[in-house]
């Protein structure tokens, strides 16, 4: 298995299959995803609810679990084959990562899975076995690639798209995704020589996993998870819906220069940042395009092609879990800015 | 003529037919409107260039005139009949406004016109006679309501849409438009009892003339003129074009709660703020809807339904002419904010 | 009152306020408008249900009434003043139209109303008094011009937009709307000297009432009523929804050259043709633009700017009420075409 | 090399890199792609012009070559590695395909390339070496993944997207793409047991190569090549542009159920069918989704989700080269239909 070529390594991971989100307000969080974002509930069990968008391929792409603090439970990547699962395990262990098989049946609708932690402490699951979702007749779609009929509730998202990890050590997180999981870094932001952001993919999408520097010095936090509309107007419509239904909008709709993806950032009631993803942006068909670099001097275009401003007091400093609730965080960081020193008491997060 | 009913008065002005824009960089300003916004040049004459969008009805809707300072030359309203022109003249004079006929032939393609000044000093022209534009065969469109074929240059705007006047005395400007010109104020922003914004229309559009308080204490300045796309995606496309072609974006694309119109604000090279207008927003079909009031407490939704922020340091303080160039203005006002006191030296503008 | 000028006459009617639709399947028809098109139910009473879109200004814009046959119950126009109501009555009577006051309180939320018939027999109501809709707190919107919050159900339409009457005598219908109601005909289709279509408006919209020739020789039928999205993407989304939820699509989404409005035609379960109206098309700001003429030779562009085909076997021949159900009608007319002779047995409709 | 696993085989081809289009009217064809579709000309040489869209990665994606008949010169696929090129050659030869190296330097900006023919005779080139396009400063974009600035001419397409081959033997063509090139067939249309359409991809796109049965019995013809907008509104805008600038629209804008891609089909002046591709449709992230099957009974949704009709007289019967010019072809096939027998004289095409 050591003879996997670089070209082959790039296709070991198929895609981001699922995310577990922690919420101190699980019912409000569930309502956000079902009533506003039109997701289907697959099952409620224990402290968790399992959901899927109408084009998500498996039993669930989102698990909401009650927790004292918001944040990422785990992210789950699916390999392209059973052999790839074994090879990824070997590769991660060979580089000294602790990997553990999770108990059979622990995650509804998925099989044999191992877990490890990113360099910054994020929980990552890898699996091959995943039950294909087949809709009951009353939910089946006439469009054969559509796993279930688009619901008539709210503004339904199609599927889970990507997630963004905040990290104290962007380079370390990136290293694992590249070396052990075969992701390529499509775009990167440099502050001089320091890497402060990396967008990574195992297929032709601009990213399924991104990692941005935690400007507060925190470790292993979640920046956001993103759900896919694939359409600019749906982001505009969603912004109006969030405004009308009392969901706080952080920024957007606009288009990032980075990835050329269309963004809309909001905070779900549990405190996690959620992105609605409009057009998917640049597709990396060219197999040998090197990582595209953004210098901080050009970052304005990188952050937003239109006039949107990503607010320093939240976008670059707030992740989940957070030492302070969102409103207090915003107040505390209101006077900081791109050039300001971070808080004297380092804003760190216990894992 | 004094027996004009209120219902009749409301339809004396047909629409905003033309705007003269002053520019210290007339060639760059012309390039902005022709190369990027795809406007046709009708004629160049003396210090002026006359332009029209492909659906503008007359010989021109925009006149760019070389000038030491940017700003509004004049705005021109067309009446619904020749009699209405006479009645508006009588009404304005009866209320003590100085009205003067401008010399015949002074404005290409328009006839008999009189001029007066708003309470704040903005130049306003009123006319009935206007030459219908008829395209030469090579520019004619297959779509019979389209005055000329959509050009293949840049992102063509359809037509002039509206303009926004900054004023020291919003109430005074509004009064004239309502009493003498029959506009109705569709929406208004109040700071306690003080009116700080008024959106006015003589037809079912949400506004063809708006007036906002000049927070710097200046008088008679231009906030912006707006051109019509009628389409959200075109505002998104235009934002990308402006970013790529070095035109500064102030805010947007997003949607105002006020008027529900979709905005994108940029500064043309001469220094004037230009709006690109996406979807036209709420149409006032109901004939007796009273003025809708925004309190400052709800103004966030009024300014933008999505996450856009209209920047205090320019949007609420910069108009043309400006005592300082845009970049210096921004720097000077960077520390001010909604609650901050204005500059000690009042930022005034010589007319 | 005889001294009303032509310019004044043009503004006597404010807009199309309401439509009564007859349906042999009232519950299915109601479900179509509530579950798919997100309309609010104001009241159910007797054989009727009253509905409104979230931006409709009054208590209802659509009344669904159970009936043996589909079709138009009546259309209701609101005047711009109480005096205009009296003047329209006088004018209609002066031209020999029979006008009757309908009993007080017969139409929920509207006052003093008279009824008359078009030259072809369509029922037309005219009124001034209309109760302004005020949402209860839980349905109120943060956007002050929005009468109620956009629902989370289906793809909500904003409001009633326009309607299209099939007529044996297009010229006769047009005459009344122009002479007695002050509409102007913005666009017209001519087959040689014969007028086969007229698009008419009392404001700057391209049309609020259209009239097309009934190619079957029928009289006084309904072609379609249209509800407003104001947005191209919403027509695309609605088409997908109709496809998924078993509503038959006749044509679209595409854009008519006539009016430049974006169309999507479907048949509601009761058998009536319903249009979803995307972008509103060309706005008639120019007060003296004459009627724009389409010759049959250019009608392809007039009917659709894109590649859509309006099917002869339904679009030009099927109206409600219909002698045959839709499916049988389609079969009967399948072999006819633009150049074919109409059926030997004239397809007429008893009023 | 024989031990390539199925999972590995799926990633041997990176993407469709280039297409050569033959045209009897090369200047008009070039004008179509440059003036209307905003493509850049890389070079004109001999009987050919080389073009690229502003996000195409290499020196050219489209080569227009003067020829007596329209049609496909060749299609060119790029592998994911140099080794993959060798492996594909071995695999094709092992199955008896004749493969020839084309002379060095024959195709501007691409290196070592071999050519073979599909089961139906279409020319296919395979290569690894491709010069990365780097824009000169005046054409470079601020968006780092964008290879060149979006031009201000016409409605610029981003890049080549896919192509569709007409074939007498759909199964044979599919076989080669699956067995030797590692494509997976994402969707397939069956008429009973007979395969009449296959959509194939080597990445997560719904298709980069499609193959449809030639209903005339012809062999080895081109159905269409497609260029990417990625956006519904751009397809609407393009339709209007084509209408205004005398380019014949065949069908659309609408959305296929098959692939969920948004289509607009036109004929370029040389006679080839060109598709403008709006939203890219369903992305195949799930690595083990089997081929989704459309039965002819559901094909209405498969062909168009909205109301568009793909015309039998051209869409299912006209390819290039064509025995008859488009207008004559349409007339000849006007009376045929889905159930009609093909012409007695088989409409065949000499290769």
DSSP C63-113: EEEE-SS-EEEEEEEEESSHHHHHHHHHHHHHTT---EEPPTTSSTTB-SE
Q: Shortest CB distance from A252 goes to which of B233, B240, B307?
A: B307
pLDDT confidence of residue C334:
86
B337: closest CA of chain A, how far (Å): 13
pLDDT tens digits, C36-57:
999 999 999 999 999 999 999 9
Q: Where are the beta strands (DSSP E) in C239-340?
A: 249-255, 262-267, 273-277, 292-295
pLDDT tens digits, C84-110:
999 999 999 999 999 999 998 889 999
Calculate the average pLDDT of chain A.
Answer: 94
pLDDT tens digits, A158-204:
999 999 999 999 999 999 999 999 999 999 999 988 999 999 999 99
Indicate yes or no: CB of B308 within 8 angstroms of CB of A308.
yes
Residue whose tokens read 């009253």: C50
C334-347: buried (b, 16+ CB within 10 Å) or exposed (e) per residue? eebeeeeeeeeeeb
Q: Shortest CB distance from C240 goes to which of A150, A233, A245?
A: A150
Q: Shortest CB distance from D240 goes to which of C240, C249, C305?
A: C305
Indicate yes or no: CB of B244 within 8 angstroms of CB of D154.
no
Which of B193-202, B340-349, D190-199 is least confident?
Answer: B340-349
Closest to C173 measured CA to CA, from C225, C92, C119: C119
Q: How many residues does chain A have?
A: 351
D271: closest CA of chain A, how far (Å): 29
Q: Considering only CB atoms, which chain B residues are within 8 Å of A307?
A: 239, 249-253, 264-265, 308
Q: Which residue has the higher pLDDT, A261 or B347?
A: A261
Indicate yes or no: CB of C141 within 8 angstroms of CB of A244.
yes
What is the arrangement of strands in the sheet containing D48-52, beginning at the earlier edge strand? D40-45, D48-52, D62-66, D13-23, D71-79, D123-127, D113-117, D100-101
Indicate yes or no: CB of B249 within 8 angstroms of CB of A301.
no
User: Using beta carbons and an 8 Å cutoff, which residues of A are at the interface with C?
Assistant: 35-36, 141-143, 149-150, 152-154, 231, 233-234, 240-241, 243-245
R_g (Cα) of chain A, nearest Å? 19
Using the predicted structure, report yes or no on whether residue C2 has a pLDDT greater than 50: no
Q: Shortest CB distance from B249 goes to which of A251, A252, A306?
A: A306
**Contact of A272 with A258, CB cutoff 8 Å:** no
D342: closest CA of chain A, how far (Å): 29
pLDDT confidence of residue B340:
57
What is the distance in angstroms between the CA of the first residue and the CA of the last residue of chain A? Answer: 34
C244: closest CA of chain A, how far (Å): 6
pLDDT confidence of residue A3:
56
Taking one residue from A and the other from C, the number of pairs with CB-CB distance under 8 angstroms is: 36
Residue whose tokens read 């006359």: B50
B80: closest CA of chain C, how far (Å): 6
Q: Scanning every residue of chain D, which has its alpha carbon at the shortest distance from the alpha carbon of C302?
A: D243
- Give the DSSP per-residue string, D244-294: HTTPPEEEEEEE-SSTT-EEEEEE-TTS-EEEEE-S-------TTPPPEEE
Interface test with A, best of C35, C38, C152, C235 (most A CBs within 10 A): C152
Instruction: Establish whether the linkage from the previous residue to C321 is cis, with ω within 30° of 0.
Output: yes
A6: closest CA of chain D, how far (Å): 9
Indicate yes or no: CB of D244 within 8 angstroms of CB of B36.
no
**Contact of A51 with A39, CB cutoff 8 Å:** yes
Residues with Cβ within 8 Å of A34's Cβ and at least 6 positions away in sequence, in order, are A40, A41, A51, A153, A154
β-bridge mates for residue C184, sequence order: C201
What mean pLDDT is predicted for residues B7-13?
91
Q: To which H or E segment does residue D203 belong?
A: none
pLDDT tens digits, D223-282:
999 999 999 999 999 999 999 999 999 999 999 999 999 999 999 999 999 999 999 999
How far is residue C132's CA from residue C272's CA, in Å, rounded to a whole number? 28
D249: closest CA of chain C, how far (Å): 6
Calculate the average pLDDT of chain B.
Answer: 94
How far is residue A328's CA from residue A212's CA, in Å, rounded to a whole number? 22
Using the predicted structure, report yes or no on whether residue D104 has a pLDDT greater than 90: no
What mean pLDDT is predicted for residues A68-75?
98
How far is residue B316's CA from residue B302's CA, in Å, rounded to a whole number? 14
Interface test with B, best of A306, A312, A334 (most B CBs within 10 A): A306
Output the CA–CA distances (angstroms, integers) from residue A330 to A325, C44, C207, in the order listed.
Answer: 9, 49, 50
pLDDT confidence of residue B344:
43
**Which pair of tokens denotes residue A272?**
């996690």
pLDDT tens digits, A29-53:
999 999 999 999 999 999 999 999 9
Under DSSP, the state recorded for D122 is -
Backbone φ and ψ for A210, nearest 5 degrees, come out as -120, 160
pLDDT tens digits, C164-195:
999 999 999 999 999 999 999 999 999 988 99
Q: Considering only CB atoms, which chain B residues are within 8 Å of D241?
A: 150, 152
The dihedral formed by the CA atoms of C114, C119, C123 and C127, expressed in degrees to the nearest 10: -30
Of the pLDDT bands very low, low, confident and very high (cuts 50, 70, 90), residue C199 is very high
**Which pair of tokens denotes residue C150?**
């956009």
Of the pLDDT bands very low, low, confident and very high (cuts 50, 70, 90), residue A1 is very low
pLDDT confidence of residue B5:
82
Indicate yes or no: CB of B307 within 8 angstroms of CB of A233.
no
Closest to D324 measured CA to CA, from D285, D271, D274, D280: D271
Which of A347-351, D11-15, D231-235 is least confident?
Answer: A347-351
**Which pair of tokens denotes residue C23?**
């349906």
Q: Which chains touch C (3 or more CB pairs under 8 A)?
A: A, B, D
Indicate yes or no: CB of A306 within 8 angstroms of CB of B255.
no
Neighbour tally for D4: CB within 10 Å: 17
Q: To which H or E segment does residue A41 belong?
A: strand A40-45
Indicate yes or no: CB of A203 within 8 angstroms of CB of D287.
no
Residue C174, SS3 per DSSP: helix
Q: Shortest CB distance from B239 goes to which of A240, A265, A305?
A: A305
Q: Considering only CB atoms, which chain C residues are within 8 Å of B259?
A: 145
How many distinct helices (H) and strands (E) make up chain C?
Answer: 7, 17
pLDDT confidence of residue A8:
85
Using the predicted structure, report yes or no on whether residue C306 has a pLDDT greater than 70: yes
pLDDT tens digits, B91-131:
999 999 999 999 988 899 999 999 999 999 999 999 999 99
User: Using beta carbons and an 8 Å cutoff, which residues of C are at the interface with D?
Assistant: 232-233, 236, 239-240, 243, 249-255, 264-265, 301, 305-309
Q: Shortest CB distance from A292 goes to which of D81, D144, D259?
A: D144
pLDDT tens digits, B271-294:
999 999 999 999 999 999 999 999
Indicate yes or no: CB of A309 within 8 angstroms of CB of B309.
yes
* Neighbour-count burial of D93, counting CB atoms closer than 10 A to its CB (0-12 exposed, 13-18 middle, 19+ buried): middle
pLDDT confidence of residue A336:
73
Indicate yes or no: CB of A55 within 8 angstroms of CB of D282.
yes
Closest to B85 measured CA to CA, from C79, C288, C203: C288
Percent of chain C with pLDDT over 70: 95
Helix residue ranges per DSSP H, C105-149: none
Q: Which chains touch B (3 or more CB pairs under 8 A)?
A: A, C, D
Q: Scanning every residue of chain D, which has its alpha carbon at the shortest distance from the alpha carbon of C239?
A: D306
Indicate yes or no: CB of C145 within 8 angstroms of CB of B187.
yes
**Which pair of tokens denotes residue B9?**
């008065």
Interface test with C, best of D236, D252, D264, D334 (most C CBs within 10 A): D236
Q: Scanning every residue of chain B, which has its alpha carbon at the shortest distance from the alpha carbon of A235?
A: B306
* pTM of the full structure: 0.97
Output the CA–CA distances (angstroms, integers) from residue C62 to A331, B288, C47, C107, C279, in the order listed.
Answer: 49, 20, 14, 11, 21
What mean pLDDT is predicted for residues A243-264?
98
pLDDT confidence of residue C4:
76
Neighbour tally for A105: CB within 10 Å: 9
Which of B92-96, C118-122, C137-141, D2-6 is least confident?
Answer: D2-6
Indicate yes or no: CB of C143 within 8 angstroms of CB of A233.
no
Q: Which chains touch D (3 or more CB pairs under 8 A)?
A: A, B, C
pLDDT tens digits, B126-143:
999 999 999 999 999 999
pLDDT confidence of residue B309:
95
Indicate yes or no: CB of B257 within 8 angstroms of CB of C144.
yes
Output the CA–CA distances (angstroms, integers) from residue B70 to B20, B25, B32, B46, D323, in the order listed.
Answer: 11, 9, 14, 18, 63
pLDDT confidence of residue D340:
57
Indicate yes or no: CB of D307 within 8 angstroms of CB of C306.
no
Q: Considering only CB atoms, which chain D residues are within 8 Å of A283?
A: 205, 280
Output the CA–CA distances (angstroms, integers) from residue D103 to A249, C259, C262, in the order listed.
Answer: 58, 57, 52
Calculate the average pLDDT of chain C.
Answer: 94
Q: Considering only CB atoms, which chain D residues are within 8 Å of B243?
A: 142
**Contact of C286 with C36, CB cutoff 8 Å:** no
Q: Considering only CB atoms, which chain C residues are within 8 Å of D232?
A: 232-233, 236
Q: Considering only CB atoms, which chain D residues are within 8 Å of A78?
A: 287
pLDDT confidence of residue D3:
56
User: Using beta carbons and an 8 Å cutoff, which residues of D are at the interface with B?
Assistant: 35-36, 141-143, 149-150, 152-154, 231, 233-234, 240-241, 243-245
Indicate yes or no: CB of C252 within 8 angstroms of CB of D309.
no
What mean pLDDT is predicted for residues A311-320?
95
**Which pair of tokens denotes residue A40?**
């289907």
What is the arrangement of strands in the sheet containing D209-213, beginning at the earlier edge strand? D249-255, D262-267, D273-277, D221-228, D159-167, D209-213, D194-201, D184-191, D292-295
What mean pLDDT is predicted for residues C319-326?
97
Of the pLDDT bands very low, low, confident and very high (cuts 50, 70, 90), residue D1 is very low
């Amino acid at each position: 298995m050591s003879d996997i070529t670089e070209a082959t390594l790039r296709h070991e991971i198929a895609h981001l299959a699922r995310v577990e989100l922690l919420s101190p307000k699980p019912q409000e969080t569930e309502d956000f995803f079902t009533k506003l974002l039109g997701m289907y509930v697959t099952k409620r069990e224990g402290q968790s609810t399992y959901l899927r968008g109408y084009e998500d391929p498996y039993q669930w792409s989102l698990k909401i679990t009650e927790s004292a603090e918001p944040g990422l439970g785990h992210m789950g990547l699916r390999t392209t084959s059973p052999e790839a699962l074994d090879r990824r395990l070997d590769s991660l262990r060979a580089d000294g990562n602790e990997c553990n098989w999770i108990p059979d049946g622990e995650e509804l609708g998925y099989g044999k899975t191992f877990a490890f932690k990113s360099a910054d402490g994020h929980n990552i699951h890898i699996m091959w076995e995943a039950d294909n979702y087949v809709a009951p007749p009353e939910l089946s779609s006439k469009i054969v690639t559509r796993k279930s009929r688009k619901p008539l509730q709210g503004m339904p998202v199609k599927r889970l798209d990507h997630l963004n990890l905040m990290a104290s050590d962007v380079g370390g997180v990136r290293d694992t995704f590249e070396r052990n999981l075969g992701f390529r870094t499509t775009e990167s932001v440099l502050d001089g020589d320091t890497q402060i952001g990396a967008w990574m993919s195992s297929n032709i999408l601009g990213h399924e996993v991104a990692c941005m520097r935690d400007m507060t010095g925190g470790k292993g936090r979640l920046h956001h998870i993103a759900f896919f509309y694939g359409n600019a107007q749906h982001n505009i419509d969603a912004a109006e819906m969030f405004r009308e239904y009392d969901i706080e909008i952080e920024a957007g709709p606009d288009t990032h220069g980075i990835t050329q993806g269309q963004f809309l950032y909001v905070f779900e009631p549990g405190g996690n940042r959620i992105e609605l993803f409009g057009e998917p942006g640049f597709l990396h068909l060219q197999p040998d395009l090197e990582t595209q670099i953004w210098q901080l001097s050009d970052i304005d275009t990188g952050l937003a092609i239109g006039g949107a401003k990503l607010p320093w007091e939240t976008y670059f400093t707030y992740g989940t879990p957070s030492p302070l609730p969102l409103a207090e965080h915003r107040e505390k960081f209101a006077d900081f800015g791109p050039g300001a020193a971070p808080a004297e008491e380092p804003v760190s997060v216990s894992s």
